Amino acid sequence: MKREELIETFALFGKILENFKNSNENISFLNEVKANNPWFTKENILLAFENWSSELTQEKLSFFVQNARFLEKPKTLALILAGNIPMVGFHDILCGLLCGYHLQIKLSGKDKLLSSWVLQSLVEIRPNLKERISVVEKLENFDTAIATGSNNTAKYFSSYFKNIPHIIRQNRTSIAVLTGQETKEELSLLSNDVFDYFGLGCRNVSKVFIPEDFDLNRLFEAFFPHNDIINHHKYANNFDYYRAIYLLNQDNFMENGFLLLKEDSGLHTPVSVLFYSRYQVLNQVENFIDSHQDELQCIVSNLGLKNTDFGKSQKPKLDDFADGVNTLAFLSSI
């Protein structure tokens, strides 16, 4: 199979994603997915489809792989996929196939239906892909691996794959750094970085750095359009639980009925919680970033901090590689 055929396949799949919401049968399938995993709501799946459909064009895909090697004699890539948000493992599938690999895929228990549909759709477009894609419970006889999991599973993966080339991904999150000069529109866009996919992705903002004199009510005002998120039962359960914990511990926090805003030096937050820290000089934030490089995915800001634009953290481009590791370059080097 030639790379040009694969590029055409993914471009056609992009069209399927673009038109997906126009079919009642498809919407029925999304309801089935949500029943299997309540975090995978119709709105969140369609958001992921919209973002991917804009990237899966013939032109963008061709440019994306122009410097990547294509295996004439395919090797086998083992993929252990995450399942925290819709389509989270698709980029690895894309890169593996576009580099000419056979894929052995272990799906997350949280995302068997949607990922299976994605793989089935690719095979329906290009039937001979069936020879290159295997969904398995036990990985075996592979040449390289990409595995995504928690910090605990990452230790296991590193040991398990120690004798072959591998990429191991673990817990990361994202931050925002505000100057106080942001417009209402920019703060509104920031709300998407916080609330898209219920904040479950590594690209979601879990902590904001703000100047000492920043008025937190500006965040609550900008975030208010997302207030209906509290109607999701699992999100509401998290909100009620952590609100009760903070009250029992007599922690200082603010809340607006759907978000808990807590001053905290930590980085990783539970669902429904956003941490914040105040700073006097930007150098304090830069020092924090330097000491937490291995835990950060995106830095949302207008400042020159390797930043992601407001509202763009969960709208990655093809070359926004997870953890800053170029997957194409890795696969081309083997």
Model pLDDT for residues 38-72, shown as the tens digit of each residue: 999 999 999 999 999 999 999 999 999 999 999 99
User: Do 3 and 50 form a contact (C-beta atoms < 8 A)?
Assistant: no
| Residue with more model confidence, 303 or 257 | 257
For the ranges 19-23, 78-82, 141-145, 328-332, the lowest mean pLDDT is seen at: 19-23
pLDDT exceeds 80 at position 275:
yes
Among candidate residues 202, 194, 199, the one with its CA nearest the CA of residue 220: 194
Where would I find the H helices in the chain?
3-19, 24-36, 42-55, 58-64, 90-98, 112-125, 151-160, 184-195, 217-223, 233-248, 282-291, 327-332
pLDDT exceeds 80 at position 306:
no
Task: With cut-offs at 50, 70 and 90, classify the pLDDT of residue 130.
Answer: very high
Burial of 293 (0-12, 13-18, 19+ CB in 10 A): exposed
Task: With cut-offs at 50, 70 and 90, classify the pLDDT of residue 304.
Answer: confident
Task: With cut-offs at 50, 70 and 90, classify the pLDDT of residue 305.
Answer: confident
Of all residues in the chain, what percent carry a pLDDT higher than 70?
A: 100
User: How far, in Å, CA of 306 to CA of 48, rounded?
Assistant: 24
* CA 292 to each of CA 81, 100, 171, 174: distance values in angstroms, whole numbers, following the listed order: 24, 35, 12, 11
Task: With cut-offs at 50, 70 and 90, classify the pLDDT of residue 329.
Answer: very high
Residues pairing with 79 in the sheet:
105, 146
Q: What is the mean pLDDT of the chain?
A: 97
DSSP assignment, residue 262?
E
pTM for the whole structure: 0.96
Of all residues in the chain, what percent carry a pLDDT higher than 90?
A: 95
Write out the two tokens for 303. 């400042």
- Strand order of the sheet with strand 296-301? 253-255, 260-263, 273-279, 205-211, 173-177, 296-301
What is residue 78's predicted lDDT score, i.e. its pLDDT?
Answer: 98
Average pLDDT estimate for 222-242: 99
User: Do 69 and 327 form a contact (C-beta atoms < 8 A)?
Assistant: no
Write out the two tokens for 80. 């252990």
Give residues with Cβ within 8 angstroms of 63, minimum separation 6: none
Torsion, CA 179, CA 254, CA 310, CA 115, rounded to 10: 150
What is residue 24's predicted lDDT score, i.e. its pLDDT?
Answer: 86
Model pLDDT for residues 10-21, shown as the tens digit of each residue: 999 999 999 999
Write out the two tokens for 324. 């800053």
Task: With cut-offs at 50, 70 and 90, classify the pLDDT of residue 146.
Answer: very high
Average pLDDT estimate for 287-294: 96
Buried b (16+ CB within 10 A) or exposed e, 52-63: bbebbbeebbee
User: Do 160 and 78 form a contact (C-beta atoms < 8 A)?
Assistant: no
What is residue 43's predicted lDDT score, i.e. its pLDDT?
Answer: 97
Identify the structural domains of the chain with CATH numbers, from first to last.
3-171 (3.40.605.10), 173-301 (3.40.309.10)
Model pLDDT for residues 177-223, shown as the tens digit of each residue: 999 999 999 999 999 999 999 999 999 999 999 999 999 999 999 99
Among candidate residues 262, 261, 303, the one with its CA nearest the CA of residue 285: 303
